[in-house]
Chain A
Amino acid sequence: MEPTDPINPVNGAAHIVLDNVSMSFNGRRVFDSLSCEFPRGKISVVLGGSGVGKSTVLRLIGGLVRPCSGRILVDGDNVCELPDRKLYSVRDKLGMMFQGGALLDSLNVFDNLAFPLRESSKLDEEEIREEVHRRLRSVGLSDVDELLPGELSGGMVKRVALARAIMRSPEILMIDEPFSGLDPVSTKMIEALLLRLNRELGITMVVVSHHVRSTLRMADWIVLMLPDGAVAGTPGDLLNSQDPCVTRFLNEDPDEALAALENPDAATEYSR
């Protein structure tokens, strides 16, 4: 295991690179000199406790906030230096599922999903309808077209938000806390969905989570953010780490964590 120097053990070019990124809000430091990479076509999980800046990493990658210093390369483009207009062309490659869903609450489920296509594609309404229903089916939902976001359960909101995030077939999918506030069954359902989407569509995924068990089951690459810096590696690397901070964080339930590592097919079981 290495500290977060630019390394990429998952053979292939990094899709996203954070290089010496420092971030603070209103003078409050979030993190300093964070460097890490996210491999192309793999599921990377940003893991860490509350308040270490996990969600901020996603917002930085999406250009929603600017860092105090450092570079953020998304498919080679430094999003820190791009003006707003050019940032939109980078965002065309990105999809993001927000923690609370961020669905437009004045639109029903169908219109929420149709929205990105109506805004950026030349598809006619019939094609949009087919595409929306295809995406809804892919996240295990049907007959929800007319429901407003306020009428959905927490798990359904996450799934609709996930469906909207993939409507434009992004190259990179960023997912903020997909398991928060969900019961164990819904957690495993979302986890299986993410795995299936990654396998079927080959999307690079950056998942922010503090759910260790799910992370160990699904991640190809983990960036563990700790209060005094970040550590990156494969799940195996991190589980074998001698760093007490890493082991303390990961071994919230050591037996479960080891079982997940020893049984890599466990995750695919859920997707069946």
Chain B
Amino acid sequence: MIHAVAYIGARTLKFISELGHITVFGFRLCVAAVTPPLRGGLLLDEIYKLGVLSLMIICISGLTVGMVLGLQGYNTLVRFGAEESLGAVVALSLIREFGPVMTALLLTGRAGSATTAEIGTMVATEQLDGLRMMSVDPIDYVVKPKALMMLLVTPLLSALFIVFGIFGGYLIGVAMMGGDSGTFIASMENSVDFVNDVAGSFLKAGLFGVLIGLVATYRGYSCEPTSAGVSAATTSTVVTTSVSILIFDYFITALWGV
């Protein structure tokens, strides 16, 4: 019994300590973000690595999710004679939920894990210490470009996911099931509100981008300088970020109605 209490206590203390460290890390990152130099070349590099290299997976995933939504939505709505609402169902599901959440989860697996592994390897091979010894802050040179660009690319990729998803839903609902094209588009136009739905979706994706950027860079930055440490940090990034995204998603939806 005492061991169980001690174990829970130790885990709680570790969690609080970790929370403190990530807060300090986040604060240092914010300071670095508004402190010159901007490092434009590195930012462009990161847009390529995090964004451009994720295009394929985002487009294919968006298309297939939209197609599944179209198929499931049509089969469900047709039972109630409400198949003309398919456009609204597909668009609202993608814009409000699937777009930002699925994009964030996919980015966590593809770019978040790669970011942790890259920074972790730099820790293990003393490259970050090398930067410090050259009077260069690794948070400014290594972490800042990755975290900032994650914040930028997540909403953009989410928008792309949504576009491909809607196209997938249209393909199924109209081209395959024989629904009316005009009705699909009109239903979508009438139901989607720019401020509540589209802007909210961007906001949600942006927050997920902050979360992925912060956790992925922090895990890499603070990992044990061994190959096992890098591996553990990479796994931890995927698990922690994925679970956090789903929890945050619930609270954002519940509190802000997005």
Contact = CB atoms under 8 A, between A and B. Distances in A.
Partners in one complex: yes
Interface of A: 59, 62, 64, 84, 88-89, 91-92, 94-96, 98-100, 102-105, 115-116, 119-120, 168
Nearest to B131: A104
Contacts of A96: 130, 133
A103 B130 contact: yes
Nearest to B124: A100
A240 B29 CA distance: 54
Interface of B: 125-127, 129-137
Closest 4 CB pairs of A and B: A102-B130, A102-B126, A88-B135, A96-B133
Contact of A115 (B132, B134, B137): B134
B133 A94 contact: yes
B127 A104 contact: yes
Among A62, A103, A104, A116, max chain B CB count under 10 A is at A104
Contacts of A100: 125-126
Contact of B126 (A98, A116, A120): A98
Contacts of A88: 135, 137
25 contacts: A59-B129, A62-B129, A84-B137, A88-B135, A88-B137, A89-B135, A91-B132, A91-B135, A94-B133, A95-B133, A96-B133, A98-B126, A98-B130, A99-B126, A100-B126, A102-B125, A102-B127, A103-B130, A104-B127, A105-B125, A105-B127, A116-B134, A119-B136, A120-B135, A168-B134
A177 to B, nearest CB: 12
B46 to A, nearest CB: 12
Contacts of A120: 134-135
A104 B133 contact: no
A104 B142 CA distance: 11
Nearest to B132: A64
B134 A119 contact: yes
A116 B131 CA distance: 9
A199 B136 CA distance: 29
Given A92-B135, A96-B133, A103-B130, 10 more contacts: A62-B129, A64-B132, A64-B133, A84-B137, A88-B137, A96-B130, A100-B125, A102-B129, A102-B130, A105-B125
A59 B135 CA distance: 14
B41 to A, nearest CB: 11
Nearest to A167: B134
Nearest to A92: B135
Contacts of B133: 62, 64, 91, 94-96
